[in-house]
Structure formats: C-alpha cells, structure tokens
Amino acid sequence: MSKEEKKIILTGDRPTGRLHLGHYVGSLERRVELQNSGEYDEINILIADDQALTDNADNPRKIRDNIINVVLDYLSVGLDPEKTTICVQSALPALHALTFYYMNLVTTARLTRNPTVKAEIQLRGFEDEGLPVGFFAYPVSQAADITAFNANVVPVGEDQLPMLEQTREIVEKFNRIYGETLVLPKAMIPENEMQRRLPGVDGKAKMSKSLGNCIYLSDTSASVKKQINGRMYTDPQHLRIEDPGHLEGNMVFTYLDAFCKDEYFAEFLPQYACLDEMKEHYTRGGLGDGTCKKFLISILEEILSPIRAERQKWEADIDSVYDILLAGTEKARETTNRTLARVEQAMRIDYFANREIVKEWEELLKK
C-alpha cells in the first residue's frame, strides 16, 4: 500500500497548561472516537513543546511541567497508547531539519498574512516587544510536524485552518520543485459550532487560565460546581422564573449545546425529551436558571468523573506514563526520520545515504 492510500492522522497540542473542557469538546472527544473507529491506519499525537517554546523561551520550566499534565489528560480521556502514538516534539530532530528546509519555500510576506499568527502576535504584545523569529515561523514548523508523519488527516480547531493552508502550500511547492514526495493533508474540524469554539464560563470568547474562566478536565466536582454556580452567565433579564428567558449569550445553553445528548434528559431532567423542548420552555418562561445549571452540572459530572478516576490511576504510576511517552517518541522518531531521508533524497542532499556521489564527483572532475 502506498503512503497516499493509508489513512494517517496527526494532531497535537502545546503543553502550556492542563487541558480543559474546550479541548475536550473541540478535539479530545473526537480523537478518542477516531481512535476507536478502527478506520485509521495510524494516529499520532504530538506534544508540541518546541512550538510552545516559541513564545515561552524564558520559561522552559512551564513547558517541562505541563508535558506530564497533557499526557495525563490524554490518557484520562481514553487515548490508548496501544492504538495512538503519543510523542514529544523536541525529541524528534527530523522535525527541526524539515522546518529548516521548508523555511526556504515560504516568504515572510506569506507568514505575515497568516491570520492566526497575526492575532497571536497582538495578543502576546510582540508588536511592541519585538517578534521572535521562531514564533513568526512556527507555522512552518507545524508543516514539518504534519508532513513528517505523512498525515493526510489533521483534526484541529478552526483557528488552525490557516496552518493547514500554509502546510498545503508548502507541500505543493516542495513537490513541484523536488518531485512528488510529501503527502497533501486535509484539516478535519468539529461540525458543531459550540464544539468548535467553547467560550469561557464567563462568556468571554476563550477559556484561558489567566481569565480564570476555565473548567479543567482534572478539576474536582466542587470546583466545577463553583465555576458554574458562581461564575457562569445566564440571562441578566431573567429575574423571576416566570419571566421569558433569552438563549443568546446565555452560557448555560451554550454549554448545553456543546455537551447535551438526548439521553441525559431521561437520566437527569425527564420532564423534557430533548434540548429544543427545554429551550422552548426557558424562552416561554417558567424554567429557572437554577434547574438549568443543575442539569448542566450533572452532565459535566457524568463526563468528568470517569476522566478524573482514570487520571488518578495514572497519577499513581508516572513511571508507566514515562514509558508510554518514551515508546511513542521512539516510534515517531523512526517515522519522522524516514520522511526526512525521503526529503533529503528528493532534494538531492542525501550525500551520506550511500557513496553514490563519489562516482558522480569523479565524473564531474573528469570533464
């Protein structure tokens, strides 16, 4: 079977913090489904510590500490190292080499136009502080990640679409110049809008640690309750239960859109059969915010409690977690080294792959 025919997934995360509900609903849940679908020949997940360093160069400790948090989150949600290769970016030197070669295929003008990078530059204040070259170029390194694994399917959030665009351009240019070598990848993004972009509990566009509006997969039930009861916005005009309620900007319903399944009604709120019925009652008036929040808390507990239990098990056995990471990284090293060898061959810079060039040089000198 040729590389193109295989179905290979690569995706990844920057290890800058523990993973939260936004990660779960936007990608982790789907990764587990893809893993268990049996439809893919290979699933690779990259802990992108090098990418994380591009804007944390002064704080490698943060990255080092969060590698374990991210792996624990992966294992807790049901990613299975028997089926999914989990690996660490910095330990894959082929990715560095590929990045260096791909940088020649991308202009600074093109990188400047990347909307995600643009937004991140603003967010991090790099406009005033000065922009690190590594950060500016990280989309190129992401192209190296994706192509090194020969991935054709890349499950990511919407914000990563520009990276995929950029990767596809690099692949096309590489193949045009050096001959058909790299696999052209496609992004796979969540269908449900709320799953694509889960806001923070306070309704701010993004869950972020500094805003304190996150619910982490490893949070205790008490803290989940506290976030929802204490910080989650509903409808400020919905003062009495009888008042008609509004759904727009109401985070309880936003979260229900992302997490609710019909079967949860039978279990926790049997007066409704589905979310539409519940919304209808809320809009009409007569359904209190307390009941809605309680329902949401029950759903989140149903999702989070097995994750927490799994995490506890792994936390008690970090030696095994280390072994999983090591084995995954070693396997990924082989895969990515093979791609690098192919790339160097295509670029005709594979001088030491064999001694063929000796003859070539001799011929050249005879002329």
Residues of this chain that bind ligand TRP (CB under 6 A): 10-14, 46, 48, 51, 142, 145-146, 154, 156, 160
Which is closer to ligand TRP, CB of 14 or CB of 197?
Answer: 14
Least distance in angstroms from the C-beta of 222 to ligand TRP: 29
Give 50 or 235: the residue with its C-beta nearer to ligand TRP.
50
Determine the 3-state secondary structure of 154 from DSSP.
strand
CB of 47 to ligand TRP, least distance (A): 9
Q: Which is nearer to ligand TRP, 23 or 279 (CB)?
A: 23
Among the listed residues 258, 287, 251, the one whose alpha carbon sits nearest the alpha carbon of residue 272: 287
Phi first, then psi: give them for residue 137, nearest 5 degrees.
-95, 5
Query: Tokens 């895969």 correspond to what residue?
Result: 335
Q: How far apart are CA 294 and CA 239, in angstroms?
A: 17
| Measured CA distances, 106 to 50, 140, 143, 331 (Å) | 20, 8, 11, 29
Query: Toward ligand TRP, which CB reaches closer, 46 or 88?
Result: 46
CB of 286 to ligand TRP, least distance (A): 42
In the complex, minimum distance from the CB of residue 160 to ligand TRP, in angstroms, rounded to a whole number: 6
Q: Please, what is the minimum distance in Å from the beta carbon of residue 100 to ligand TRP?
A: 16
282 contacts 245 by C-beta, under 8 angstroms: yes
Q: Of 311, 291, 274, whose CA–CA distance to 24 is shortest?
A: 311
What is the per-residue DSSP string for 198-227?
Answer: PPPTTS-SS--GGGT---BTT--HHHHHHI
Three-class DSSP labels, 71-125 = HHHHHHHCCCCCCEEEEEHHHCHHHHHHHHHHHHHCCHHHHHHCHHHHHHHHHCC
By beta-carbon proximity to ligand TRP, the closer residue of 14 and 311 is 14
Closest to ligand TRP by CB, 216 vs 253, is 216
Rounded to a whole number of angstroms, the minimum distance from the CB of residue 325 to ligand TRP is 16
Cβ at position 114, least distance to ligand TRP in Å: 11
CB closer to ligand TRP out of 161 and 357: 161
Shortest CB 112 distance to ligand TRP, Å: 18
CB of 7 closer than 8 Å to CB of 150: no
Q: Where are the alpha helices (DSSP H) in the chain?
A: 21-23, 29-37, 49-53, 60-77, 93-102, 108-113, 115-123, 126-129, 133-136, 138-148, 161-178, 193-196, 221-226, 251-259, 262-268, 275-284, 289-315, 318-346, 356-366
Residue (26 or 81) nearer to ligand TRP, CB: 26
